[in-house]
Structure formats: C-alpha cells, structure tokens
Structure 1
Amino acid sequence: MLFNPFTFREIELRGLISTGRAAEAVRVMQADQVHGPPVAPQWHIIERVTTGQVLLAAHHRDGASEAFRAALVAAESHRLPHQVQRTIRAADGAGLAEIGAEGRAVLQRLTDQLAPAVRR
C-alpha cells in the first residue's frame, strides 16, 4: 500500500525540512510512532535516511550519523541503491566524509553484485 500513515509522516517530514522548519520536523519525528498496517521494508530504510536529514537540519550530527549508518546497512541488505545515494548526498552535504565514504563502498558492492558476470 503506497499511502498509509507511515508514508504520510515521511512526506510531512521531508516537506518540513525542505521548507526550513527543522524544529517542527524534529517534534513530528519524536512524536509517537505511526501505527497502522505494516509497511514494506524499503519504507523503514527511507525513513532512516529522512530521520538523518531531519537531525542534520536540527544540528544533531551524532544522531544523524547513527540514522545514516543504519540506513546504509539496511539499504545494502535490501539492495536499494537509491537510498544509499540519498544517504551519500546528505552526508557529503553535511561534511560527514566517513559516512559518505561508507556509502560509496556500499554502492560499489551493490554495483558489483548486480553487474552481469563477465565471460572469459
């Protein structure tokens, strides 16, 4: 299901940080978790990246780093390169070079896994 309370919360958080309302985004993020039907695993990964972005906007670098690292681990296991790329962009934009490097390593591993085998 594409639209459920979880996805609406994700959309709200992205909108708040995109419009410079980091404090409000943090309040929404810290409110009770959304209840409803289970969502697909990729939504939890998307949420981790967005959480990292919200925390960066609120100047909570340590929390953002933790969220980004969790997103990278999960994105690699579920083979979601787009979420790895989102994490890299956010980390690089915030000067989190180590996380950006970790993301590029994950992206390379995913590329290697998904590339067709070379015949010799």
Structure 2
Amino acid sequence: MAVPEEQMPGIYRSEEMCLAQLFLQSDAAYQCVAELGELGLVQFRDLNPDVSSFQRKYVNEATFEKLENELREVNRNEETLKKNFSELTELKHILRKTQTFFEEVFS
C-alpha cells in the first residue's frame, strides 16, 4: 500500500523546522548528542567555526580522562610495588635469621 505524499515523513530541506539551543551538563553532553544524532532528526550547527578541533573543550576533557586513567593505573602499580617490596623485605630478613641460625647450629 502506498502512503499518500502528504503523509510521508519529510526529508526535504523545505520542511518546517525550528532552531533550538540545548544546555547540557558536560558529563551528559556526549551521550545526548550521540543519541540525537542516531535519530537522524537533528542537524547541528557549529557555533565556533573558527576553533580547531584540538582547541575544543571535549578534546581537553578526553585528554584529562586519559591522564586520569593513567594516573590511577600508576597509583595501583605503586601500591602493588610497595606490597611486593614489603613482602620481599620480610622474606630477606627471614632468610638472614635462618642463615644465622644454621651457622650457629652447624658451627
């Protein structure tokens, strides 16, 4: 069954539209824009055409997120190294005491 032309969803540029401005929290902005983009019903206008993509805010946030993750990993590694150092130091002292004990017994 063919749908009459008046009832077909519009895909032409002359279709009625409205201009809206969204104010989103930084942490939700990416997800919201991605969802709107997936719908295919929204056209975005770049309000900062003279700003290069590396100067945009989201690039700095992505860089900070990467650095934050790397810092967390470094902190985890530091804790692991401290734990290993303590365990190895303890084992070293046990071996020294054991060596001293055997030297005294077999001398």
Common fold by TM > 0.5: no
Q: Answer 1 or 2: which has greater helix percent.
A: 1
Alignment TM-score, normalising by the size of structure 2: 0.28
Higher relative contact order (CA 8 A, sep 6+): 1
Q: Which protein shows a greater Rg? A: 2
